[in-house]
Amino acid sequence: MTIHQREKLSALLDGHIEGNEIVMELVDNATERERWFRYQLAGAVMRGEATTQQPFDISAQVAAQVASEAVYSQSGSAAQQQSVWLRVQRWLQNGWVRPAANVAVAAGVAIVAIVGVQNFQRVDDGTVVNNPVAASASSSLQGFETMPLGGVINPVSFNTVHPQAEVQDSDQERRLLQSFFVDHHQQQQLSDQESVENEDPVKEID
């Protein structure tokens, strides 16, 4: 696919153009089908729509929908359109969506990582902060984000295999674990600073 064609694919995704030929190319070319999926996923992530629970495999619904459509008349562009749909249906049933499952898992983990990073230090759990001392204490640490050296917040992020019903629970649990581990690291560093300040209260930093 040339750059020009990719632009067209992108435009098609955004709903700017309609095109049969580009869809035909998509259907015929396995690499392009994957690219199509990646574009869609990237778009979904950027719009904040992607979730791990989202069913990526919609082939069954599409197939059912296609089957229930009225048969088009045999004339002109309608016939062409139908044949496109039939081919779409065929490759959906052939399971082209399967490699996407791996991407979905990876994206899920990545999103958890991003959310983890961005949520550091934010106290936005809906509770009203009554204690002014505590409030000022938590806000004073803005910008202090201890990160383990590997850049991964905690190995717990990788416990991705859970029965569907427990997903909500395990997300909650992961947040709790990260909350404690991150704080444990911060407090160790702060206590180190505290002891240095106690030994030598005069700051001499140029």
**Under the criterion CB under 8 A, does residue 5 sit at the interface with other proteins?**
no
Q: How far is CA 81 from CA 63, 133, 202, in A?
A: 16, 67, 79
Q: Which is nearer to other proteins, 16 or 203 (CB)?
A: 203
Q: 37 by DSSP, 3-state: which?
A: helix
**Residue 22 or 107 having the CB closest to other proteins:** 107
Nearest distance from C-beta of residue 47 to other proteins, angstroms: 10
Work out how close the CB of 188 gets to other proteins at its nearest, in angstroms, rounded to a whole number. 5
| Residue of the chain from 110, 162, 166, 168 that contacts other proteins (CB under 8 A) | 110
How far apart are alpha carbons 156 and 117 in whole angstroms? 14
- Using CB under 8 A as the binding rule, whether residue 194 contacts other proteins is answered as yes
Q: DSSP letters of 159-174?
A: -----GGGHHHHHHHH
Amino acid at 64: A
Instruction: Provide the Cα torsion 23, 27, 32, 33; round to 10°.
Output: 110
**DSSP, res 155:** G
Q: Which is nearer to other proteins, 60 or 117 (CB)?
A: 117
65 interacts with other proteins by CB under 8 A: no
| Piece of 10-18, 19-27, 51-59, 183-191 that binds other proteins (CB under 8 A) | 183-191
- Cβ at position 189, least distance to other proteins in Å: 5
Instruction: For residue 49, state whether it binds other proteins (rule: CB under 8 A).
Output: no
Q: Which residues contact 38 (CB under 8 A, 6 or more apart)?
A: 103
Where do the H-state alpha helices sit in 125-204?
132-139, 167-199
Which residues have a Cβ under 8 Å from the Cβ of 71 and sit 6 or more positions away?
82
Q: Under the criterion CB under 8 A, does residue 52 sit at the interface with other proteins?
A: no
Dist CA 164 CA 151 (whole Å): 28
Site string for other proteins, 154-173 (x = CB under 8 A): -xx-x-------------xx
Which residues contact other proteins by CB under 8 A?
Answer: 42, 45-46, 106-107, 109-111, 113-114, 116-117, 119-125, 127, 129, 131, 133-134, 136-138, 140-141, 143-147, 149-152, 155-156, 158, 172-173, 175-197, 200, 203, 205
